[in-house]
Amino acid sequence: MTKSGRPRAFDKEAVLDAAMDVFWEKGYEACSTEDLCNRTGLGRGSLYNAFGSKHELYEQALDRYHVYWIREQTSILESSEPVKTRLRNFLEWAIEKDFEADSKGCLLINATMERGRTDSTVERASMLHAEKLEKLFGEIIQEGIDSGELSAELSVTESARTFLCSFYGLRTINATMRSRDMAEQIVAGTMRFFN
Amino acid sequence: MTKSGRPRAFDKEAVLDAAMDVFWEKGYEACSTEDLCNRTGLGRGSLYNAFGSKHELYEQALDRYHVYWIREQTSILESSEPVKTRLRNFLEWAIEKDFEADSKGCLLINATMERGRTDSTVERASMLHAEKLEKLFGEIIQEGIDSGELSAELSVTESARTFLCSFYGLRTINATMRSRDMAEQIVAGTMRFFN
DNA sequence: CCTATTTTGTACTGATTGATAAAAAATAAA
DNA sequence: TTTATTTTTTATCAATCAGTACAAAATAGG
């Protein structure tokens, strides 16, 4: 049975996507509730009725970001290509994202640097994302060792964590230097590690 | 000859240090001019008379941060130890900074993620810092190759940029995961690249 | 002492902040 | 149709924002 009362005039997921975009673009502090109303198309009343507060909306936007992108990242890492190709593709994917028009980098990294030390919601979402990536890296590095594609002398967790570091470093360097050439050289250097 | 008029009652560099700390702790947007007055000890009049605006103060604080830390980083990289030891010490230094009590990470990385795309002052300062680090890395890697400590097959710029990426990645991962164990494993994995 | 100049402290500005109140509007269930 | 329930719209709130006005205070030079 449907609940009674006036029905919602908006799609909650579309609103979350719009809110996510604004937080992504401006950061949490620089994003006003008026910005959120403008971009979502909701009035103040509707927005507060549906989400409670700016911070709760932020929370849901971060969760949505995590769920959406971990799926895309997983699909790259679990393709049927050789392990080394998959790792390289993953870094190349990051470069594509960081250098497409109006790129905003990674919302979770941005959020961590802006608020990670003081906002447990940010801390939680970012840590969860990084842990899932680390696990994925570990699994396919193990797969590479098992198949003989990677050296059996590699420590799986050490390699997975080092690759995780390279990935986060690449995104941070891209935000800092905005040099695609540099990014490509970093990928080349990083992949030289896995041989 | 000294200029006439009432003399300043504050030390400009001490004020800049205090302002830098607040920006570092809260970020630009979350830091109010009242916060700045409280922490610097200056009244509004003095602060605006001396620095003009919140943003100009931010600019000087970022510059001061850059100058201070590039000096410390240079001294680590230009010590008399073997090249590999210096590179390792540099990463270990980052871990010490990131895990000391009330660590705030790196102001320039935080600033880049919060405002790098929209604030050319941030963009400029962060890029300058990263470029200087890249240059330092390149010089000592070349030194290592010349002395035979590092493989002559390494590309200097590629290696320097990859190491730069590892350094920025380490700091970003530290902000995200807060795991010293993970940080140490990343250093081990990164240093395995240079052999 | 007198004047010019600069800094300092205080009060204040209009704009914007996140959030709320209350009534109108729109539905389901009775 | 009536009632209960929910959403939407609009007006509004106190608090805070970055920045300013201005007079008092403190100096140097004459």
B185 touches chain A (CB under 8 A): yes
* Residue B49 Cβ under 7 A from any strand C atom: yes
- Determine the average pLDDT of the residues in A103-115: 98
A112 touches chain B (CB under 8 A): yes
Position B1 scores a pLDDT of 56
D22 C1' to A57 CA distance, Å:
44
Give the chain B residue nearest A106 (alpha carbons): B113
pLDDT digits (tens, 9 = 90+) for A6-27: 999 999 999 999 999 999 999 9
**A125: pLDDT confidence band, cut at 50, 70 and 90?**
very high
Distance from CA of B171 to the nearest CA of A (A): 8
Across all strands, nucleotide nearest A32 (CA–C1')? C17
Position B2 scores a pLDDT of 66
Would the pLDDT of A183 be above 90?
yes
Contacts of B30 in chain A (CB under 8 A): 29
pTM: 0.96
CB B73 within 8 A of CB B136: yes
Q: List CB contacts of B56: < 8 A, sequence separation 6 or more.
A: none
B135: nearest Cα among B103, B157, B113 = B157
Q: Which two tokens stand for residue B128?
A: 């300058």
Q: Shortest CB distance from B109 goes to which of A159, A172, A190?
A: A172
Position B4 scores a pLDDT of 84
Would the pLDDT of A1 be above 70?
no
B124 touches chain A (CB under 8 A): no
Distance from CA of B82 to the nearest CA of A (A): 22
Within a 13 Å sphere around the CA of B123, how many CA atoms are in the beta-carbon half? 10
CB B169 within 8 A of CB A172: yes
Q: List CB contacts of A22: < 8 A, sequence separation 6 or more.
A: A31, A35, A36, A39
* Residue B10 Cβ under 7 A from any strand C atom: yes
Average pLDDT of adjacent 10-residue blocks, chain B of 195 residues: 84 98 98 98 97 98 98 98 98 98 98 98 98 98 97 95 98 98 98 89
Architecture of domain B63-193: Orthogonal Bundle (1.10)
Position B7 scores a pLDDT of 94
Contact yes or no for A162 and B105 at CB 8 A: no
Would the pLDDT of A4 be above 90?
no
Distance from CA of B185 to the nearest CA of A (A): 6
**A5: pLDDT confidence band, cut at 50, 70 and 90?**
confident
Position A3 scores a pLDDT of 73
Position A2 scores a pLDDT of 66
Position A100 scores a pLDDT of 98
Q: Shortest CB distance from B168 goes to which of A130, A161, A169?
A: A169
Q: How far apart are CA B59 and CA A136, in angstroms?
A: 41
B162 touches chain A (CB under 8 A): yes
Position B67 scores a pLDDT of 98
Position B189 scores a pLDDT of 98
Position A47 scores a pLDDT of 98
